Amino acid sequence: MKTELISLTLSELEELAQSMSQPKFRGKQIYEWIYKGAETFDDMKNIPKDFRQKLSEQTYIGAVKICEKYVSDIDETRKYLLELSDGNFVESVLMKYEYGYTICISTQVGCRMGCKFCASTIGGKERDLTAGELLSQIVCVQKDLGQRISNVVMMGIGEPLDNFENVLKFIELVNAPQGLNIGQRHISLSTCGIADKIRELADRKLQITLLISLHAPDNEKRSKIMPVNRKYPIEEVLSACDYYIEKTGRRISFEYTLISGVNDSIDEAEKLAVLLLGRLCHVNLIPVNRVEETGFQKSAKQGINAFKNHLEKRGIAATVRREMGSDINAACGQLRKKKNRENT
Ligand code: SAH
């Protein structure tokens, strides 16, 4: 099997060069090309031709390529459909804030968690992304943008804690000062609540921001819209969160997608407040994005505000997520789904 270069650290690339009878600095040269967004060995001009030939026989870069791109006229949000080296597709979204650019990346091709409101999980999971493919989404979009991306959120297609080892390696890669040099405090990970992995993550004592997709305040309702709740019910998720806060000192954010008539009553806001009271946390309220297959509807603006005000009245900090790129709005997972339909 060929080695994927983009998943390697600088020192691993240097070792690889040496194992192929080359001086150590060739590893650094390859590393620099990869981080400049080289897609083929032909791009690597300062590497001797015969070594490039050998590299292409034994290795591949593993970089993602832009297949489709949509730019919002409203707020410059960009959505990308990216092609992987095996012909699969994932999506990344780039958002512009006052403090810089944030990229939302995918962690798996598809997803096996089965959340009822989510487009990414409809066809199940195809495969995990490698650490390099996680990184490559940033390198590729940054090259297209021509400016530095300063923040990363793992909130695209897939469940990051269902691809645990690759996500950890990715965090190491993305931190590297000679590479993208993005600090852990600029990285966020969103999970549907795989409690034992949240604990494992806490034990690593990383400084990343953790977001938990809660979406319902009791087990009966949560299991209906998020099947993962049958395995990891709310008490277990929250107890793992407490452990995370204790180990890392980091505040946790809870995501709560508001779906009209499903989880958006004041009664539910009250239950949510009772659940979270006393925790170092913040609630992100997300008006549900329309996904054709699900039939779920957004809550009315008034209802959303009332839900938020109730949480705040009970002492829970809450914000309603600003909709970005609404003119190019294809909820996460929809571009890939459309592409797969065209290809079959
Ligand atoms: N698997 C991870 C990360 C991917 S989804 C997780 O579950 O957290 C990122 C966030 O978008 C999650 O909170 C997810 O529940 C939410 N989401 C998925 N589909 C949505 C939709 N149609 N409308 C609004 N939010 C959605």
Same domain? For 35 and 98 the reply is no
Q: Encode pLDDT of 267-287 as tens digits.
A: 999 999 999 998 889 999 999
Do 52 and 156 sit in the same domain of this protein? no
Nearest to 143 by CA among 195, 209, 84, 69: 69
Check whether residue 51 and residue 132 sit in a common domain.
no
Which of 17, 35, 60 terminates a domain? The answer is 60
Q: Which atom of ligand 1 is nearest to the CA of 213?
A: 13
Specify whether 150 is located in the same domain as 208: yes
Give how many domains the chain has, as a whole number: 2
Q: Which residue among 257, 264, 337 is best mutated to probe the pocket of ligand 1, counting the most ligand atoms within 8 A of its Cβ?
A: 257
Active-site pick, 91, 133, 159, 268: 91
Q: What percent of the chain has pLDDT over 90?
A: 88
pLDDT of residue 140: 98
Q: Is the CB of 107 under 6 A from ligand 1?
A: no
Domain, as residue range, for 221 = 65-343
E-strand stretches of the chain: 3-4, 59-60, 65-71, 78-83, 89-97, 100-105, 108-110, 125-128, 149-154, 187-191, 209-213, 252-258, 281-287, 318-320
Q: Is 328 in the pocket of ligand 1 (CB under 6 A)?
A: no
Quick one: 54 and 88 in the same domain? no
Confidence of residue 129 (pLDDT cuts 50, 70, 90): very high
Confidence at 157, pLDDT banded by 50, 70, 90 = very high
For 198-254, write each residue's pLDDT tens digit.
999 999 989 999 999 999 999 999 999 999 999 999 999 999 999 999 999 999 999
Do residue 50 and residue 133 come from a single domain?
no
CB-CB contact of 258 with 216 (8 Å): no
Name the one residue in this structure whose structure tokens are 């999980």.
121
- Residue whose Cα lies nearest atom 20 of ligand 1: it is 118
Together in a domain, 169 and 20: no
Distances (CA, A) of 63 to 132, 198, 283: 8, 29, 35
Q: What is the pLDDT of residue 331?
A: 62
Cβ distance 138 to 35 under 8 Å?
no
Q: Report the nearest atom of ligand 1 relative to the CA of 226.
A: 15
Same domain, yes or no: 123 and 10? no
| Last residue of one domain, picked from the residues 43, 60, 77 | 60
Pairing type for strands 89-97 and 78-83 reads antiparallel
Alpha helices in 64-163 (DSSP H): 131-145
Shared domain for 38 and 173, answered yes or no, is no
* 241 noted as active-site residue: no
CB 77 within 8 A of CB 329: no
Same domain (yes/no): 173, 304: yes
Give the pLDDT of residue 330. 56
Q: Please give the model's pTM, rounded to 2 decimal places.
A: 0.96
The chain-wide mean pLDDT, for the chain, equals 95
Relative to the CA of 333, which ligand 1 atom is closest? 19
- pLDDT for residue 148 is more than 60: yes
User: Is the pLDDT higher at 5 or at 280?
Assistant: 5
70: which 2 tokens?
């949509």
91: annotated active-site residue: yes
Tell me the CATH number at 239.
Answer: 3.20.20.70
Task: Give me the CATH number covering residue 26.
Answer: 1.10.150.530
Residues 116 and 252 in one domain: yes
Specify the pLDDT at position 329: 67
Decide whether any atom of ligand 1 lies within 6 Å of the 155 Cβ.
yes
Q: What is the average per-residue pLDDT within 78-90?
A: 96
Q: What is the mean pLDDT of residues 48-61?
A: 97
Whether residues 253 and 115 fall in one domain: yes
